[in-house]
Structure 1
Amino acid sequence: MQITITLNGTKISPEIEPDTLLIDLVRSQGCYSVKRGCETANCGLCTVFLDEKPVLSCSVLAARADGHSVTTLEGLQEEAKEFGAFIADQGAEQCGFCNPGFIMNALALFREKEFPEEDEIREYLAGNLCRCSGYEGQLRGILAFLDWKREKQKEAAE
């Protein structure tokens, strides 16, 4: 079957099998930031935005994305670059495998709430698997990013 989606701003019309998962489709299109982890919708490594909402692409059939917009980390480089530096600064990317899914979910959080509280951050990111860091570095990175963002807004207002 043929579907049409907008992947990272580019309209594509791939031929797929009815049981093709969205993760397999986006990876076949060169979006390797989307990682295969648990394949049970529990780890967050395969997070993409479907019409600007985070979804776990390992649990969505590609056919369901027909006529919709799909965004991966490759399509959010400018937005992710600023934030990712704060995660790296806190040593929270030891192996880096979880980073794309983690960053996608953090960006979704920031879109939903510009300055979330620490407990909201923990709750929102609870579904992200990281076997290296214990999550504290990522939390410190998010908090440092939010402090920097507040300061940047304050300076712009003056």
Structure 2
Amino acid sequence: MSTAGQVIRCKAAVAWESGKPLSIEEVEVAPPQKNEVRIKILFTSLCHTDVYFWDAKGQNPLFPRILGHEAGGIVESVGEGVTDLEPGDHVLPIFTGECKECPHCLSEESNMCNLLRINTDRGEMIHDGKSKFSINGKPIYHFLGTSTFSEYTVVHVGQVAKIR
């Protein structure tokens, strides 16, 4: 049964506040919109970067949020404008994305995309400025555009690498 275009529910590890234990919660995950992909996460890992931002060291804390940025999964559904990925594709969400249009992406000397460069303060999607995660209508913020500590996540298509 296809869930494309529908809100789905899944489990996610939510950081409600700095340094407090993660809490396994049932979250709603909105469908992907323009230039977005919803991914079923199969494997994820904990990195020191997740711990650093979970502890809110040296940055503006943004909570509640779903951490995680190192993972592998399968495309579950795609939003409008996504042409190079389809449901069933194996992918890696990546936090340093490429829009493939800005001067940095068109250069052979830089991967610091103007649109998708690392932004730890952004907790919403680029296209519509909204979080794709919520609990009872309350938004749960994204992390590094990937939020892989969830069974499903939504990312910008420029932050997805297709793998065999």
Task: Please indicate the TM-score interval, normalised by the length of the shorter structure.
Answer: under 0.3
Query: Between Structure 1 and Structure 2, whose CA radius of gyration is higher?
Result: 1
Higher relative contact order (CA 8 A, sep 6+): 2
Task: Report the structure, 1 or 2, having the larger helix content.
Answer: 1
Task: Report the structure, 1 or 2, having the larger strand content.
Answer: 2
TM-score, scaled to structure 1: 0.25
TM-score, scaled to structure 2: 0.25
